Chains A and B, each alone.
Chain A
Amino acid sequence: MMQGDLIWTLVGFILTLLVFSYLFGDNVLFRLAVYVFVGVTSGYVVVLLVDQVLVPRLVTPLMQGSIEQRLLLVIPLILSILLVTKLFPRLAAFGNLSLGVMVGIGAAVIVGGALQGTLASQITAAVTDFNLQSGVLKGRDPVLKLIEALILLVGTISTLVYFQFGATAKPNQPPRRPRWVEMLAGMGQIFIGITLGSLFAGVFAAALTALIDRLDFITLVIYDILF
């Protein structure tokens, strides 16, 4: 292990131990590790943005670019300056224009992509699951494919019904949903529970993997130090 790597390995080892100190509750050591992480990350991001965004995209074209490039950069320059005014409460209103441009463009991009890339494609996929021939082509058992499609359909419908809270009121009785709605909602509740369980299992698995990685790092560092 090289000298520089050793130093950074020791730094990583110490920071890892500081984070593990959270097992004893919130303490100064844990906070120190968090602050160091936040500070280093922020510094790194600033350097990265200046080096890879501002200088090559704004400063260099303004200094060395053609007239057309400079004229094209006037608009982003103005928007950037207006965005800086958000740092000052009295002038913060001037930054609304830049924020509006950003939010508007972002919303348009996300909505457009979601409609085409998620909504339409997922609806098509849900319908295609009932195409037994496609399952055969993929080498899957058509019966199992059909059962899977039915489970998917029931799970989708029942989950949607579960989030339907409309109910009719009867005299001297609390408002309740119709009986068939209650049944579907119950089934949807089961599907939701399974989904959340699987997500929790994935979160636990990811955390466990991170734990394994950190413990492996610690043992390796200790092993390298000791041996």
Chain B
Amino acid sequence: MSMAENRCPMCGKSNPEEAQRCVFCQAQLKPLTGGEELPQPSFSSSDETEWLKSLRHTMGEEPSSAGETGQEEEPDWLARIRQRAQTERQSTDEDKNQLSSWLGDTGKETSGAGEEDWLNQLRAVTGVPQESPEEPSPPSQEERRMTTGELRDVRDRLSRIAGEPVDLSAGVPPAPQPAETTPPSAEAEQPPQVTAGETSDLAEWLRSLEYAGMEKPAEKTEFSIPLEQSAEQPYGDLAEFTGESELGGPPEGEQPDWLKAFEEVPPVEEAPSAPEPLAAPVSGEETPDWLKAFEEVPPVEEAPSAPEPLAAPVSGEETPDWLKAFEEVPPVEEAPAAPEPPAAPVSGEETPDWLLELAQTFTSETPGVQPSPVEVPVSPFVEEVSPQAEHPEGVTMPVEEFLEEAVQPEQTAETTPVKGVDLTDWLAELEEEAVDKEAISRAFILEEEQPPSEELPAASYPFAGIDADLLGAEEAETPKETGIEGLEGLAPALLPDWLQALRPVEAVIGETPTGVEEETQVERAGPLAGLRGVLPADRLVIQYRKPPVYSIKLRVTEKQRQHIEVLDDLIKAEGKPAAVKREDLQVPRRLLRLTLALILILVVLIPLLVSSPSVVPTGLVPDENVRGFYSQMNLLVPDRPVLLVVDYDVGYLGEMRFAATGVIENLMLKRQRLAIVSTVPTGPLLANDLLERAQLKLTQVEPAIRQGYALPDRTVNLGYLPGGTTSLQEFATFPRQAVFAGLGSVPGEPQNVWGHVVVQNINRLSDFAGLLLITDRVDTARAWIEQVEPALEGRPLLVVTSAQVAPMLTPYVDSGQIEGMIWGITGGMAYERLAGVPPHAAAYWNAYRYGMYVGFAFILSGVLLRSITDVFSRRRTKHEA
């Protein structure tokens, strides 16, 4: 690209060299170009920065005479600053040594001729036109206005703006004062967040980078500009920058201002409202109009779109153009469409290859960067301006318009480091730290920027019912805290309409929600001090009324109380052991018990011993039940077996034997075959005992009965019916499946029980002649009645039971479900007498009868004794009363 080309920064097309506007897009060409007319570094030695001096000194170049003149005119304050800078530089010698070791100690070997080379090469890479001090191009008429003195004056003003609270809303800028009379503030001298050592580190590594580029052109240096570092110190850096500007340049050893621009990238998320250090070359006596307008720009309160405080060097003279190209690299990822500043073409004859590669890499990875024609920005301020701006006046364009254009890329751009460039380890760590810090700060800022959505349901707000107006009033009374110490003293600013329109959030919402106000607050005290968005509990507490107090006392009526007491007594009584009330008896309890037992035993035993076994009992008259039972027994079909169910326990063996022996004897006399089954495990054994006793008793009267009624041939014991009453259903339906083992059957042939001659023709219950149930339990009798009786299909169900069960089974007799029932010793003996079988001895009947009498006497005597005792106790109580 030749110098004759006048390429449009907007459309990139070539224009005639003499054209002031682009013939294609009518964009302004001259104000943004004119690198040849820029004031070359011909400023006096007083304006020459120390870093340049030191650079020349390192390169072996003798300072110019003008510079020497400037040294002679060095004021005292500059000496103090230099001394201070020297002290700071010594404190960071260790870091610098490390950086130097990494980058190589190349600067010492750099010659003065080399300076020209490396500067030219670097300019060529960055597209900055080569500038030659020997051939200064005359500045234009407008640029001449921005002399070095004017620049210094602007720096002074900006430093005061950054260091002092200024009511910018009033539109009255602080009066510019000379640096000698107004020493820099403490904040300006000592930035609160950035130490001098840190800034010196940056200067050193950048300087080393320069040296490395000169000495080792073939070595490709990869680095990234740690822009995030300055995000935490916008005002501190600004103040420092301007403070140095007052002195006419940084002290020796400190980084130059143009280098600081790389680190002094202000935070994006929380843009300060302070005016930008838009330095301009203005003379100390006169402030150009455009700068005056700039000074009068009110601060942007909470302006998220504040322009980047890329603390540009004072003028183009102080900042080498090749480094400006680095500054002018816009945020690549966030603002791909951001216009790029015009890059100067490079004369390729002096540019080393490594710089060319670096430039290509740099430009190729930044899509917004386009090679620019040979254009040298007038000033860093001009570089900040979008090239799309059309201001024929160039630098003197209105500040409002400038801010509009400058804010625009700021809204979309972020201070992200240049991507795509490989970082060395230490730079990567540095960048990570910066990113972490930024992320931490963004964690709060994001909350601040996310007001509670109005679409959320009311339930999601815990304090939805709070009076919003009242909260808003309180919030208004609370001074807003931006978290920046430098702005605490600033009065709330009023934004002009045009600037408010630039705030997208407020433009849409219109009114800041209360929640945002709360979230912007910073807790001052307590364990949450320093945190944002803490709910102001101290104010909310007074918003609430005291909650209504509900009584926990339960209202209970008298009736309910009585019920509670009764229930409580019942529950308590359940847990207490029942106290045995001691009976007030005249005789010992054990003696009484023995006496009654002996009386009963004697009453029972005496008839057994005295009565003759052959005496037939008298006085036994069979009742209706016995007669009905006897009649049913006579109706039994003789050629069919009778199912004999023995379901009583051993304890009732005596009673059951007295009651059932006569019935069994009657069946034996009738040659009735018997099939025995039981739901009680001991039932089969008791059945065998019952049969043997009956046969023995019968044999005593009629000896031939033993031969005529052989138990193995006439009876079969089907055995135990497992499952209790549950198995009765199966037995009633499938008798052969329910029982098949049989008691005393042949091992290994359990099925033979149904092959017995007694039951070989039995396939169902109705095949039996009838069912004789001998039981002592109500449940067993009821189960047989309920489950089996329907399966008998009209066959009689006869029951022999105990005296204690008979009252419970009588209803079944009345209903006809039981065809006949006898019970106890009385029923058995009555049946014996009615059936004509050998009766039991009269002794048993007598014993039973006498025993019943004695028992009745005991009960009656007990009732009488108790009644008499109660009567006497009542009388005694009345007597004592």
Contacts and interface: CB of A to CB of B under 8 A. Distances in A.
Contacts of B426: none
B604 A215 contact: yes
Contacts of A205: 803-804, 824-826, 848, 852
Contacts of B594: 23-24
A208 B786 contact: no
Contacts of A129: 814
B729 interface: yes
Contacts, number: 155
Contact of A24 (B590, B728, B812, B848): B590
B848 A209 contact: yes
B728 to A, nearest CB: 8
Contacts of A214: 654
A169 interface: yes
Given A208-B855, A209-B654, A211-B851, A219 B816 contact: no
A141 interface: no
A51 to B, nearest CB: 7
Interface string B302-328: 000000000000000000000000000
B559 interface: yes
A208 B848 contact: yes
Nearest to B825: A209
A169 B741 contact: no
A66 interface: no
A106 B802 contact: no
Contact of B682 (A41, A202, A215): A41
Nearest to A102: B726
Interface string B666-681: 0000000000000001
Interface string B777-795: 0000011011101100000
Interface string A10-48: 000000000000011100000000000000010011001
Interface in A82-129: 102, 105-106, 109-110, 113-114, 116-118, 121-122, 124-125, 128-129
B601 A215 contact: yes
Contacts of B609: 219
Given A209-B658, A215-B605, A109 B787 contact: yes
B732 to A, nearest CB: 10
B743 interface: yes
B336 interface: no
A168 interface: no
Contacts of A202: 802-807, 823-824
Q: Is the interface of A mostly helix, strand, loop or mixed?
A: helix
A44 B824 contact: no
B597 A23 contact: yes
B5 interface: no
Contacts of A7: none
B831 interface: no
Interface in B796-821: 802-808, 811-812, 814-817
B754 interface: no
Contact of A208 (B685, B811, B851): B851
B722 interface: yes
Nearest to B816: A125
Contacts of B804: 199, 202-203, 205-206
Contact of B726 (A51, A109, A201): A109
B523 to A, nearest CB: 56
Interface in A42-60: 44-45, 48-49, 51-53, 56-57, 60
A186 to B, nearest CB: 20
A44 to B, nearest CB: 7
A141 B802 CA distance: 29
Contact of A121 (B605, B719, B815): B815
B802 A122 contact: no
Interface centre among A56, A117, A199, A209 (most CB of B within 10 A): A209
Nearest to A37: B650
Q: Is the interface of B mostly helix, strand, loop or mixed?
A: helix
B604 A51 contact: no
A65 to B, nearest CB: 12
B855 A204 contact: yes
Contacts of B652: 206, 210
Given A23-B594, A122-B815, A105 B726 contact: yes
A173 B156 CA distance: 103
Contacts of B600: 211
A56 B844 contact: no
Contacts of B726: 102, 105-106, 109-110
Interface band, chain A? 35 or more
A117 B790 contact: yes
Interface in A169-224: 169, 195, 198-199, 201-206, 208-216, 219
Given A109-B787, A210-B654, A211-B601, A48 B681 contact: yes
A216 B805 contact: no
Given A124-B815, A202-B807, A215-B604, A116 B790 contact: yes
A203 B825 CA distance: 13
A57 B729 CA distance: 18
A206 B851 contact: no
A216 B613 CA distance: 11
Interface string B597-626: 100110011001100000000000000000
Contact of B722 (A49, A110, A116): A49
A44 B684 CA distance: 12
Contacts of A53: 720, 722, 741
Contacts of B812: 121
Interface in A115-160: 116-118, 121-122, 124-125, 128-129
A210 B741 CA distance: 32
B692 to A, nearest CB: 11
Interface centre among A53, A113, A124 (most CB of B within 10 A): A113
Interface string B143-160: 000000000000000000
Contacts of A60: 748, 750
Contacts of B740: 56
A79 to B, nearest CB: 13
A45 B654 CA distance: 22
Nearest to B844: A212
Given A41-B682, A125-B811, A215-B601, A210 B651 contact: yes
Contacts of A49: 681, 720, 722
B725 interface: yes
A117 B787 contact: yes
Contacts of A203: 803-804
A209 B594 CA distance: 19
B593 interface: yes
Given A52-B741, A53-B720, A199-B807, A212 B815 contact: no
B656 to A, nearest CB: 9
Interface of A: 23-25, 41, 44-45, 48-49, 51-53, 56-57, 60, 102, 105-106, 109-110, 113-114, 116-118, 121-122, 124-125, 128-129, 169, 195, 198-199, 201-206, 208-216, 219
Interface of B: 559, 590, 593-594, 597, 600-601, 604-605, 608-609, 650-655, 657-658, 681-682, 685, 719-720, 722, 725-726, 728-729, 740-743, 748, 750, 776, 782-783, 785-787, 789-790, 802-808, 811-812, 814-817, 823-826, 844, 847-848, 851-852, 855
14 contacts: A52-B720, A57-B741, A60-B750, A109-B729, A113-B787, A118-B782, A118-B786, A202-B806, A209-B658, A211-B604, A211-B851, A212-B848, A215-B847, A219-B605
Pairs A-B, 6 closest by C-beta atoms: A213-B654, A117-B786, A113-B786, A125-B815, A202-B804, A205-B803
Given A49-B681, A202-B804, 18 more contacts: A25-B590, A41-B681, A106-B726, A109-B787, A116-B790, A117-B817, A118-B785, A202-B807, A206-B655, A206-B802, A206-B804, A208-B851, A209-B658, A209-B803, A209-B825, A210-B652, A211-B604, A212-B654
